[in-house]
Amino acid sequence: MTPPRPGRDRGLVRPYVVTEGRAHPTRNTVDLVTLVMAVRNRPLSGLNPEKRRVMELCGGGALSVAEVAAHLSLAVSVTKVLLCDLIDSGHLTARPPVPKAQRPDAQLLQEVLHGLRSRF
Amino acid sequence: MTQHIPGAVFWCLAIVTCVALLLLIRQYRITAALRRRLRLGEADLLAREEEMRHLAETRLPALLEASRDAGTPSVPGPLDADLLATTYGKSLQRVVDQLSSVGEDARLRADKSAKATLKAAMRALQALASEQQLSISEMQGRHDNPDVLQDLLEVDHANAQFGRRAQAVAVLCGSWPGRQRAASPLLDVVRGATSRIRDYRRIKVHSRVDMDVVSRAVEPVVLAVAELLDNATRHSQPNTTVEVSIQPAHNGVSIVVDDAGIGLDAREIDEAARRLSGRENIDIHRLGDPPQFGFAVIGVLAARYGFSVSVDTQSPYGGVRAVLFLPNALLNRVRFMGPPIPLQGAEVPPASSSLSFVEPRTEGAGGPAARTSTAAEAAARPGPSEEPSPFPEAGAAEPSTAQVLPRRRRRTPLHQEPGDPADPARSGPPLVRPAAETASRMGAFARGTRSGRDASVDNERNADQ
């Protein structure tokens, strides 16, 4: 759904350059739905462009790992390496995903359905 | 009568003797002249023989040697310069000239056919490498196991180098670099080049420039920088780093590659400058064994795309400083970012083009006052609130950076939801994330359709949407 960012060619910078050759994230607690948030006022010096982009993306609130990966146009496993680095350096905080919502009330759904039917 | 006979005889004899003497003298002179001519002739013949021997034993082998090895044939001249004026000398010279032109023709033909063959072969390899890169990328996305990813990264790295080699040879043989890419930030171009060399971990890139390289120049510049980086890493100790800095200039940008390697001597610098100029016709047979493609490839690309490369300065680290100068014609949207990275505190937008479509909108969103208010709103937001820092302070502490920086753009859509979601006329700061923007537009569209269809607006249900 998200169009590729203009001026960004996927095949140009290869993932091993992005992660400096590492494939193992420093922690194994991060999965697809882990939410990461940027810690404010951390210096961005020494971060590579992808990490800066992560900080930029996560500056607005929590994002899931999968979302970050999609925005960066990187593989999820590569993104995990980056995110773990950023968590280690204190740029990001991770938290487990939001718990599943309560099962919706069947009665309410029924009402919504009726409402929609009567409208259209 | 008889006493006259001896007198007559005497006179006769005297006359005969005189005549004989005269004849003898003439004969002697003729003989001397003949002898002289004979001697001269013999000397001439000897000289010609010598000349012919010189031709067969020295000049022609030298000619062959010259056509085989060096660029400019240095055939020794004739032994006897006087001979050159004669028909014989001219004929000999013609023989040499014709042989040399035949040799040159044969060489050109061989070069051409070798190049055509190599080009075709390398194009096929290049296509395979690209295909393989695609499938490696897919695999990287598909496998979540770090061990698998590690292997894939290694395969990817080897494949990238393989692709670059094939590409370099193809370019040298007159092919085009082979990939059409979107205009890319200079930093990505340099990192792309870093991706294609063996010791990519030793490359340190410092960029002060945020500019895009135009689409048609991306791949050639990537290839040229990759060759420079490859030279730099190959000719320096494995424990040293290679520093790349991207520096703005008046009418372009320089990519400076410094290594701490062994450097070049004067002869090598001359040779390199000759190849890098791209003016000389590259003969793939003369690139040495193993062939030194690097500078020749860069020269070809530089001449074709209009950038320039020099390696004639010494690096402050003791090795070579290679400078690739990109003129403005090959660059887009010149923006100078100021100092590379502030030492502490401030956040700097990434040196990529992501800024390009963010920055103007952020400026339109308001000054520090607006920032502080949005920050305060965010602090009061009921959402995930583990961020420890007090936002108003942050906004007040760094008004200057806050003005420049695009921050917390996602806050607005999140914030709209609890407020009054059904108000389509509300115009908050524009969204940055295309997904969110698309969603909100589709929502607005749906709402518009609905309100158009139904004249009586039911606020209660709209609020649910």
Predicted ipTM of the assembly: 0.77
Please tell me which residue, B78 or B298, carries the higher pLDDT value.
B298
- In order of B175, B276, B296, B307, the CA distances from B279 in angstroms are 17, 8, 10, 13
The confidence score (pLDDT) of residue B298 equals 92
Confidence band for B333, pLDDT divided at 50, 70 and 90: low
A15-119: CATH architecture: Orthogonal Bundle (1.10)
Express each pLDDT in A37-93 by its tens digit.
898 888 888 888 889 889 988 888 888 999 999 998 888 999 999 999 999 999 998
Q: Is the dihedral of CA A25, A29, A32, A38 positive or negative?
A: negative
| CB contact set of A20 (below 8 Å; sequence gap of 6+) | B201
Least confident of A64-78, B424-438, B446-460: B424-438
Residue recorded with tokens 């900080």:
A55
In tens, the pLDDT along B251-289 reads: 999 999 999 988 888 888 888 888 888 777 777 666 766
Residue B345: its pLDDT value, please? 35
Q: Region B116-140: what's the mean pLDDT? A: 92
Domain boundaries, chain A: 15-119
> What is the band of A120 on the pLDDT scale with cuts at 50, 70, 90?
confident
State the pLDDT confidence band at B229, using cuts at 50, 70 and 90.
Answer: very high
For B339-365, what is the mean pLDDT? 38
B435 touching chain A per CB within 8 A: yes
- Residue B404's pLDDT is 57
Query: Which tens digits make up the pLDDT trace of B37-54?
Result: 999 999 989 988 888 888
Determine what percent of chain A is predicted with pLDDT higher than 90. Answer: 30
Euclidean distance between CA atoms B403 and B417, whole angstroms: 26
With cut-offs at 50, 70 and 90, classify the pLDDT of residue B71: low
CA closest to B181 among chain A residues: A9
Chain B residue closest in CA terms to A3: B434
Percent of chain A with pLDDT over 70: 90
* Disruptive mutation site among A37, A40, A79, A95 for chain B (greatest number of B CBs within 10 Å): A40
Cβ partners under 8 Å of residue B83, min gap 6: B47, B48, B51, B89, B92
Residue B164: how many CB atoms within 10 A of its CB?
22
Whether A95 and B137 lie within 8 Å, measured CB to CB = no
- B390: pLDDT confidence band, cut at 50, 70 and 90? very low
A114 CB within 8 Å of a chain B CB: no
pLDDT at B349 over 80: no
Q: Please, what is the average pLDDT of chain B?
A: 77
CA B435 vs. chain centroid, Å, equals 39
The confidence score (pLDDT) of residue B124 equals 92
Cβ <8 Å between B195 and A5: no
Residues of chain A positioned with their CB less than 8 A from the CB of B146? 23-25, 77
Worst-scoring range by mean pLDDT, B106-110, B378-382, B429-433, B458-462?
B378-382
pLDDT band of residue B189 (cuts 50, 70, 90) is very high
**What average pLDDT score do residues B362-373 get?**
40
Task: Give me the residues of A, 26-55, that contact B with CB < 8 A.
Answer: 35, 37-41, 43-46, 49, 52-53, 55
Lowest mean pLDDT across A32-46, B128-142, B447-461 = B447-461
Residues of A whose CB is below 8 A from B454: 119
- pLDDT top residue among A7 and B226: B226
Q: Does B428 touch chain A (CB under 8 A)?
A: no
Residue numbers of B between 111 and 150 with CB closer than 8 Å to A: 133-134, 137, 140-141, 143-147, 149-150
pLDDT per residue as tens digits for the range B135-180: 999 998 888 889 999 999 999 999 999 999 999 999 988 888 877 8
**Higher model confidence: residue B428 or residue B37?**
B37
Count of residues making up chain B: 465
Closest CA in chain B for residue A91? B387
Query: What CA–CA distance (Å, rounded) separates B240 from B455?
Result: 74
Radius of gyration of chain A (CA): 19
Residues of A (8-27) whose Cβ lies below 8 Å from B? 8-17, 19-21, 23-25
Q: What residue in B sits closest to A56 (Cα-Cα)?
A: B407
User: Is A62 in Cβ contact with B352 (below 8 Å)?
Assistant: no
